[in-house]
């Protein structure tokens, strides 16, 4: 009698059930609708009271009640589309639900700006300044509450050689998905005998029946297999799949692809097998043009919206220390072209002259200069750095085209002189106000760590990745981690 696992009616695999976009998807849809409609109508009531107001749209008039309904509905659709799109790719990343909210909000604001310009719409700024922040805050709170639910570890079996299992453990330790390894099947380094049989580390053969029994006895929800353990001509995957037929156990093949994102990877048939195609990153064409248009639109809008903040910070810098309000410095941009970067001054006026005498206190292991308690930083400068307010004048650099909203950190010419061949790849991209370093530790990163994540961004750039980084930047800035 052949042993099989009992059929299951479960529709989602164990890892998919842990995603905020699966089990709680319906509940979040209801909560999102309540939050967004509530924010829109609350904004309308706070701005206009009980009076009925209209605004000009093209050549006609539109009631604010109708606009509130349409605004909320469009926002909900954006949230749904982005959440569904990211649930598979980033289901195990704890900050992804928050990034989805911020990405949807950015698309909403950008879309409205284009629509308002094209149709000459004149919606009250006061209404928008209440509705958008209130709706965003409400969406973030609902996801924070949903993510606080107890996290149950997924019981898992690992299959691979000793070296491969060590690598799987390292990758699981770096990730955020709670996994409880119940059993490991250690394969021989050669993996397969001359007869095509799977060999274990102790030189015994792993038969189909033995594998089925071990999976059943371990009572696991997932089986993780190292890619190299799946070799041509072997029926290993078929054996596992048939032994798990009808069960909710998830079979995961862990690829040895480094940090290549799914946006660049396609699975295609190749002969009688399946292979992966990695698309090259291109800094040209329509996506790059769209990136530039988004930079112009959002930086211009941000300069207008944040003008009161810029004024207040300018006054604070002026009255708390002597010297210019704006600090200007030469930086290296795309293809090695230099430009003048603009920042609110956070150091004393002779900070550059003191750099040489402070060189011995450098805490960086590379060409960067880092000092946690830098004596050159002014009292207000520490506050501006902690909240990243000193970077706001760089919106002008973005508008000019010297920088982008997202990109690698703009380097000093003295730093670029010390670049090796790999580091020079940073110059392929337009430097950004925020970037992968901003959401990955900022000043807490070593030079090599910062270089690694910058090169990952450059190798895997996409518009979707830019949106995700912008969204996560708000979360990281509010946490004030790594800023000094």
* pLDDT of 303 over the 90 cut: yes
227 against 219, higher pLDDT: 219
Model pLDDT, residue 69: 93
- For the record, the structure tokens of 92 come out as 């195990």
Q: Which residues contact 326 (CB under 8 A, 6 or more apart)?
A: 342, 343, 344, 345, 393
> Is 43 a residue whose pLDDT tops 70?
yes
How does residue 5 score in pLDDT terms, banded at 50, 70 and 90?
Answer: very low
How many Å apart are CA 176 and CA 166, to the nearest integer? 17
In angstroms, the CA 26 to CA 39 distance is 20
Q: What residue ranges in 309-411 does DSSP mark as E strands? A: 326-332, 338-344, 404-406
Residue 395's pLDDT band (boundaries 50, 70, 90)?
Answer: very high
Q: What pLDDT does 260 receive?
A: 67
Q: Report how far apart the first and last C-alpha atoms of the chain are (Å, whole number).
A: 68
Give the predicted TM-score (pTM) of the model.
0.61
Where does 321-446 have alpha helices with state H? Answer: 351-354, 379-386, 394-400, 413-416
pLDDT band for position 89 (cuts 50, 70, 90): low
Q: What is the pLDDT of residue 9?
A: 40
Residue 391, pLDDT score? 93
The answer to whether the beta carbons of residues 128 and 40 sit under 8 Å apart is: no
Among 380-384, 406-410, 458-462, name the most confident range: 406-410
**Residues 160/229, Cβ–Cβ less than 8 Å:** yes
Q: Alpha-carbon distance 273 to 2, whole Å? A: 29
- When mean pLDDT is compared across 4-8, 137-141, 350-354, the lowest value belongs to 4-8
Burial of 156 (0-12, 13-18, 19+ CB in 10 A): buried
How far is Cα 316 from Cα 325, in angstroms, rounded to an integer? 9
| Residue range 114-130, pLDDT digits in tens | 888 888 888 888 898 89
d(CA 452, CA 52): 56
CA dist 335 → 94, 157, 225, 413, 435 (Å): 35, 48, 42, 13, 18
Tens digits of per-residue pLDDT, 9-22?
A: 444 444 444 444 44
Asked whether the predicted pLDDT for residue 95 surpasses 70, the reply is no
CA–CA dist 138, 140 (Å, integer): 5
Question: Average pLDDT, whole number, for the chain?
Answer: 79
What single string gives the DSSP state of each residue in 171-214? HHHHSSS-EEEEEEEEEEEEEE-TTS-EEETTS-B--HHHHHHH
Helices (H), 88-159: 96-119, 125-147
Question: Does the structure show a pLDDT above 90 at 88?
Answer: no
pLDDT in tens, 153-187: 778 888 888 888 888 887 777 655 667 888 888 88
Question: Under the phi-then-psi rule, with left for phi > 0, alpha for psi from -120 to 50, and beta for the rest, what region is 413?
Answer: alpha
Q: Is the pLDDT of residue 320 over 70?
A: yes
Q: What percent of the chain has pLDDT over 70?
A: 73
Which tens digit of pLDDT belongs to each residue from 223-239? 888 766 555 555 666 76
Statement: residue 396 has pLDDT above 60: yes
Angle value at C-alpha 101, between 95 and 103, nearest 5 degrees? 95
Q: Tokens 């292979």 identify what position?
A: 275
Residues constituting the chain: 484
DSSP bridge pairs for 340 = 330
Q: Of 10-19, 86-95, 366-375, which gets the smallest average pLDDT?
A: 10-19
């Amino acid at each position: 009698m052949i042993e099989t696992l009992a059929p299951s009616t479960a529709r989602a695999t164990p890892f998919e059930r842990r995603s905020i976009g699966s089990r709680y998807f319906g509940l979040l849809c209801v909560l999102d609708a309540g939050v967004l409609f509530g924010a829109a109508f609350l904004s309308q009531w706070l701005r206009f009271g009980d009076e009925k107001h209209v605004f000009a749209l093209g050549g006609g008039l539109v009631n604010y009640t109708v606009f509130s309904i349409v605004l909320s509905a469009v926002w909900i659709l954006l949230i749904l589309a982005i959440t569904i799109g990211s649930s598979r790719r980033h289901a195990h990343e704890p900050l992804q639900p928050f990034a989805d909210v911020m990405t949807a909000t950015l698309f909403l604001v950008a879309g409205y700006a284009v629509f308002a310009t094209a149709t000459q719409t004149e919606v009250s700024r006061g209404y928008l300044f209440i509705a958008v922040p209130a709706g965003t805050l409400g969406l973030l709170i609902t996801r924070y509450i949903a993510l606080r639910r107890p996290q149950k570890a997924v019981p898992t079996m690992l299959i691979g050689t000793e070296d491969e299992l060590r690598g799987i453990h390292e990758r699981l330790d770096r990730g955020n998905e709670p996994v409880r390894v119940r059993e490991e099947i250690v394969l021989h380094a050669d993996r397969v005998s001359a007869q095509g049989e799977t060999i274990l580390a102790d030189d015994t053969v792993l038969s189909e029946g033995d594998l089925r029994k071990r999976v059943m006895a371990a009572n696991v929800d997932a089986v993780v297999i190292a890619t190299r353990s799946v070799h041509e001509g072997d029926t290993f995957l078929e054996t596992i799949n048939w032994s798990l037929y009808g069960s909710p156990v998830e079979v995961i093949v862990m690829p040895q692809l480094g940090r290549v994102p799914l946006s660049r990877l396609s699975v295609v048939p190749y002969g009688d097998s399946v292979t992966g195609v990695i698309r090259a990153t291109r800094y040209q064409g329509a996506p790059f043009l769209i990136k530039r248009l988004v930079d112009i639109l959002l930086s211009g809008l941000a300069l207008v919206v944040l003008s009161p903040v810029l004024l207040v910070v300018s006054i604070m810098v002026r009255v708390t220390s002597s010297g210019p309000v704006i600090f200007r410095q030469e930086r290296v941009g795309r293809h090695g072209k230099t430009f003048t970067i603009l920042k609110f001054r956070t150091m004393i006026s002779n900070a550059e002259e003191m750099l040489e005498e402070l060189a011995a206190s450098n805490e960086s292991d590379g060409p960067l200069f880092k000092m946690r308690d830098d004596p050159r930083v002014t009292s207000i400068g520490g506050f501006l750095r902690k909240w990243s307010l000193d970077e706001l004048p760089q919106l002008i650099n973005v508008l000019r085209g010297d920088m982008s909203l997202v990109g690698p950190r703009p380097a000093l010419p003295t730093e670029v002189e010390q670049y090796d061949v790999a580091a020079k790849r940073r110059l392929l991209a337009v430097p950004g106000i925020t970037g992968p370093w901003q959401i990955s530790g900022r000043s807490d990163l070593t030079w090599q760590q910062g270089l690694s994540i910058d090169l990952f961004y450059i190798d895997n750039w996409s518009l979707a990745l830019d949106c995700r980084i912008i969204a996560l930047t708000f979360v990281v800035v509010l946490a004030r981690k790594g800023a000094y």
